[in-house]
Amino acid sequence: MYYISGGFNLKRLTVSVILIFLYICLLSSCTFQNTTKNDEQILTISTNLKLETQYKLHTISTGNDSIIYKNKMTGYPTGEMDRNHSFLYFTTRDNSKYIQLFSLNLKTNEKKQLTSISQGIINVDTIRIDDNKKNIYENSAKKS
């Protein structure tokens, strides 16, 4: 065994550091959820066996789900809602077959494409809205 001066066991120290790192990763992954809270409702996203992605508002107190949007699965589904639950932001393939960011006005049912290949974006794979529900952050691949 190797010892650091002062009698510390390097192997034990390394294992301890790894365990602390894993614990921190576990804590951060538990709080990083694909949900948007508004009173007692959360956004849930699921894909069924028919490969249809459903975006639902789940009411925690009653356990009821209401489907707010559904479409054919075209990639890894991701979505967020604004503070007032007026807009759903989600990713799906556009007419060019690239996964892009879209918004859906839940009051008017108007769907709008927010990113495109003409902007140089060929893939949007994750989106997040900040805690104030004012800014959308995306992880995207750009055309070179």
Same domain, 15 and 55: no
Tell me, yes or no, whether 22 and 59 share the same domain: no
Shared domain for 46 and 114, answered yes or no, is: yes
Mean per-residue pLDDT for 20-28?
A: 57
The answer to whether the beta carbons of residues 66 and 54 sit under 8 Å apart is no
85 and 28 in a common domain: no
7 and 23 share a domain? yes
Domain that holds residue 20: 1-32
Q: Determine which of 18-27, 52-61, 102-111 has the lowest per-residue pLDDT on average.
A: 18-27
More confident residue, 21 or 79: 79
Q: Which residues contact 144 (CB under 8 A, 6 or more apart)?
A: none
Cα distance between residue 86 and residue 108, in whole Å: 9
104 & 117 share domain:
yes
The span from the CA of 108 to the CA of 87, in Å, is: 10
* 22, 87: one domain: no
Q: What is the pTM of this model?
A: 0.67
Q: Which residues pair with 116 in a beta bridge?
A: none
Q: Does 63 share its domain with 111? A: yes
Say whether both 46 and 15 belong to one domain.
no
16 and 51 fall within a common domain: no
What is the pLDDT at residue 73?
85
Task: Domain count for the chain, please give it.
Answer: 2
Highest mean pLDDT among 47-51, 69-73, 105-109: 105-109
- 11 with 80, same domain: the answer is no
The pLDDT of residue 39 = 55
- Let me know whether 16 and 44 are in one domain: no
Higher local confidence (pLDDT), 36 or 41: 41
pLDDT for 128 equals: 82
